[in-house]
């Protein structure tokens, strides 16, 4: 199952104070969630009685009905390996608590009391309820059993599925109980809510849930009370949300008049990996009420096929067009600001860039031009150099010239073929032998030219290599691997096309045309002679595999700590129907082999701006010995 668990948030129909009706609706939605493989399903605040009972919560008759209803709900879970988390008023002597009952396999396993009671505007819970801090007993009796109760309960469902529960206003407080629950080991946080609808409140609620999941490095599942709760002064919308580590992944409709159930598949292993890599998480003391661990009677079942998880083939690229445009704009701004600061700090008189007519050097040039604008410097301070060699084609060479002409950047032409042939003679290499020496000679000749030209002009060399190439070691050591500042080092290949496309949208017709052609040009180092038709003969993705696959492997290896077996599993989900399993296996082996072999290059890589959460800088992001044994599939 690779650590995936299915979680659910349910909003049943409700009639205020009609326990029998409410229990029937809860049982129906629970059965639906269980049939769909949910490990746990959460219901709204006080769902058994209805949240809006007011002073009816003082009535013993209502409490008796609720306890009878709770027994019926417990019976509905017998023989099912799905946890039910349901809201119910709980009376202890003369005090009433706003509670969440955690039910599994026919038994109430724990009762969580609400810690923070609202007492403002339309909510006056302190009139009817007492906060968890006033409950000292630590346990309650139910149906002949003693049950752990209060705050700070963490439930263990086995195999890394641990969860905690808080209730509505708890999340809105200065320090939510869920923060302490997460520090005590809870990876999934459930919230039973009865939050009314006001203008702008839904967006604030989304933000709150997403941010808390991010702060806690957890999944956060909130079930909102539905329209049946709506009374004289307030309206409830049944707004349910599921967020994972800062990102909202599922959301129900609002104001629905029918039962609602949303599900998501949560990768518990990925949450563990995130917590292991975040020192701020482990450095924060748990605080608050000491947590009590409650182990369930049976391990909860994971998910073999994550149907309710979005495993995108391009995890670096936002699916939403507007989000993608905003991401690209921000990346470009970070790159440009970083380069401008470096140029300003070292007082460089020029920015020297090798222009090939390919994706990476194009983006680097666009960044350099923008940096000049930020610094108020003339475009003549950008020293663009095209260095045609044995494999340069008319298309890429022509695009390099058009690009510089449209941008207004002066372009130098330095043909490297004669210098390379002289070097072949010096080291006794046969030019007809087109091996790694033949290829790397060209890469190092180009770097030598750029470095020496930077000395001559009092400038710095701008590196063009991207994150994907750095991961795979697809560069010549002390050749294109080296620069004084590398602007693309944190931008993966699958995203670079989108960033250039974003720049093209605001460009003039001529520049837009050449940028679009560069985007459509096959990725190639162009180190081998062109074919008889003059077309590119050496295509990178035919040699090492699709960058879409390698970027997918890179993201999940670094970001979620996925093992080789899990990388294969995830890729089979993401590329189902597109890429055969044999191809996925083969390219994953290529990724693993090249990633380990390339660490020595990364250990001596130049500075460059970090633009996303995945970066391979040896100084702040990825520290690994060059001689570590490679993981095997």
Quickly tell me which residue has 């009139």 as its tokens. 127
Kindly state the tokens that stand for 72: 């019926």
Active site residue 168: yes
548 is an active site residue = no
Give Dmax (Cα) for the chain: 100
Collapse the DSSP code of 113 into the 3-class scheme (helix H, G, I; strand E, B; otherwise coil) and give the result.
strand
User: What is the distance, to the nearest Å, from the Cα of residue 276 to the centroid of all Cα atoms in its chain?
Assistant: 16
439 φ, ψ to 5°? -75, -50
For strand 219-224 and strand 411-413, is the pairing parallel, antiparallel, or unpaired?
A: unpaired
Q: In 207-270, at which residue ranges do the beta strands (DSSP E only) sit?
A: 219-224, 241-244, 247-251, 260-267
What does the alpha-carbon distance between residue 46 and residue 56 come to, in Å, rounded to a whole number? 13
**Residues pairing with 85 in the sheet:** 42, 102
Q: Supply angle C-alpha 186, 242, 251, rounded to 5.
A: 170
DSSP state of 154: E
Which parts of 258-311 fold into alpha helices (H)? 268-277, 279-283
Other Cβ atoms closer than 10 A to 477: 15
- Beta bridge pairs of residue 383: 352
Helix (H, G, I), strand (E, B) or coil at 496: helix
Two tokens, residue 286: 């748990």
Angle between helices 564-574 and 581-597 (to 10 degrees): 130
Q: Mind giving me the DSSP string for 399-410?
A: HHHHHHHHHT--
The two tokens of residue 477 are: 């050591």
45 is catalytic: yes
Query: 53, 168, 420, 503: which is the annotated catalytic residue?
Result: 168
Helix axis angle for 493-505 and 321-346, nearest 10°, is 90
Q: In sequence order, what are the residues at sequence separation of 6 or more whose Cβ sits closer than 8 angstroms to the Cβ of residue 344?
A: 375
Question: What torsion, rounded to 10 degrees, do the Cα atoms 353, 356, 361, 365 define?
Answer: 60
Rounded Cα–Cα distance for residues 382 and 408 (Å): 10
Dihedral sign of CA atoms 515, 517, 523, 525 in order = negative
Question: 224 in helix, strand or coil?
Answer: strand
Cα-flanking dihedrals φ and ψ of residue 10, to 5°? Answer: -125, 140
Residue from 65, 114, 402, 493 carrying the catalytic annotation = 114
Give the whole-angstrom CA distance, residue 191 versus residue 165. 6
What residues contact 593, with CB distance under 8 A and at least 6 apart? 630
Q: What residues contact 96, with CB distance under 8 A and at least 6 apart?
A: 57, 58, 63, 89, 90, 128, 129, 130
Q: Which of 299, 294, 245 is nearest to 273 (CA)?
A: 245
Angle at 419 between CA 530 and CA 348, to 5 degrees: 100
Element (H, E) at 548: helix 547-559
Q: Taking Cα atoms as reference points, which of 561, 567, 3, 554 lies closest to residue 273?
A: 561
Residues with a catalytic annotation lie at 45, 114, 168
């Amino acid at each position: 199952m690779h650590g995936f668990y299915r979680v659910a948030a349910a909003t049943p129909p409700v009639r205020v104070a009609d326990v029998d009706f409410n229990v029937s609706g809860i049982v129906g939605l629970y059965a639906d969630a269980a049939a769909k493989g949910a490990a746990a399903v959460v219901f709204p605040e006080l769902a058994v009685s209805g949240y809006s009972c007011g002073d009816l919560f003082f009535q013993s008759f209502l409490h008796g009905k609720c306890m009878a209803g709770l027994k019926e709900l417990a019976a509905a879970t017998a023989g099912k390996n799905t946890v039910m988390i349901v809201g119910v008023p709980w009376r202890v002597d003369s005090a009433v608590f706003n509670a969440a009952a955690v039910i599994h396999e026919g038994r109430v396993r724990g009762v969580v009391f609400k810690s923070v009671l609202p007492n403002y505007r339309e909510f006056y819970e302190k009139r009817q309820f007492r906060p968890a801090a006033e409950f000292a007993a630590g346990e309650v009796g139910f149906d002949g059993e003693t049950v752990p109760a209060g705050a700070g309960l963490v439930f263990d469902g086995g195999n890394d599925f641990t969860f905690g529960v808080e209730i509505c206003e708890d999340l809105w407080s200065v320090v939510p109980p869920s923060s302490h629950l997460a520090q005590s080991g809870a990876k999934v946080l459930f919230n039973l809510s009865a939050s009314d609808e006001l203008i702008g409140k839904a967006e604030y609620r989304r933000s709150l849930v997403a941010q808390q999941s991010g702060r806690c490095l957890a999944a956060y599942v909130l079930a909102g009370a539905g329209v049946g709760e709506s009374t004289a002064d307030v309206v409830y919308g049944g707004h349910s949300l599921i967020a994972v580590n800062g990102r909202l992944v599922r959301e129900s409709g609002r104001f629905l008049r029918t039962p609602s159930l949303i599900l998501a598949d949560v990768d518990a292993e990925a949450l563990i990996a995130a917590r292991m890599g975040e020192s701020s998480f482990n450095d924060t003391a748990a605080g608050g009420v000491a947590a009590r661990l409650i182990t369930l009677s049976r391990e909860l079942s994971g998910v073999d096929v994550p149907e309710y998880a979005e495993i995108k083939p391009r995890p670096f690229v936002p699916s939403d067009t507007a989000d993608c445009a905003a991401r690209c704009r921000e990346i470009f701004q970070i790159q440009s600001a970083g380069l401008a600061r470096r140029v300003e700090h070292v007082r460089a008189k020029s920015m020297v860039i090798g222009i090939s007519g390919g994706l990476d050097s194009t983006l680097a040039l666009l960044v350099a031009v923008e940096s000049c604008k930020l610094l108020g410097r003339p475009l003549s301070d950008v020293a663009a150099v095209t260095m045609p060699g044995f494999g340069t084609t008319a298309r890429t060479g022509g695009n390099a010239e058009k690009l510089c002409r449209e941008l207004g950047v002066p372009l130098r032409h330095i043909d490297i073929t004669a210098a390379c042939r002289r070097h072949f003679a010096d080291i006794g290499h046969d030019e007809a032998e087109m091996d790694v020496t033949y290829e790397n000679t060209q890469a190092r000749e180009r770097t030598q030219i750029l470095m020496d030209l930077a000395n001559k002009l009092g400038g710095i060399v701008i590196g063009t290599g991207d994150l994907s190439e750095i991961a795979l070691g697809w560069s010549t050591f002390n050749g294109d691997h080296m620069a004084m500042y590398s602007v693309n080092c944190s931008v993966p290949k699958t995203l670079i096309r989108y960033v250039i496309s974003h720049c093209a949208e605001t460009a003039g017709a001529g520049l837009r045309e050449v940028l679009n052609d560069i985007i459509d040009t096959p990725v190639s180092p162009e180190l081998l002679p062109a074919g008889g038709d003059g077309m590119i003969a050496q295509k990178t993705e035919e040699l090492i595999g699709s960058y879409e696959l390698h970027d997918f492997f890179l993201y999940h290896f670094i970001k979620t700590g996925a093992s080789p077996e899990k990388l294969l599993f995830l890729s089979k989900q993401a590329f189902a129907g597109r890429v055969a399993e044999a191809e996925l296996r083969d390219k994953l082996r290529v990724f693993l082999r090249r990633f380990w072999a390339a660490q020595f290059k990364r250990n001596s890589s130049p500075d460059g701006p970090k633009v996303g959460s995945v970066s391979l800088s040896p100084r702040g992001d990825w520290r690994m010995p060059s001689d570590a044994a490679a993981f095997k599939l």
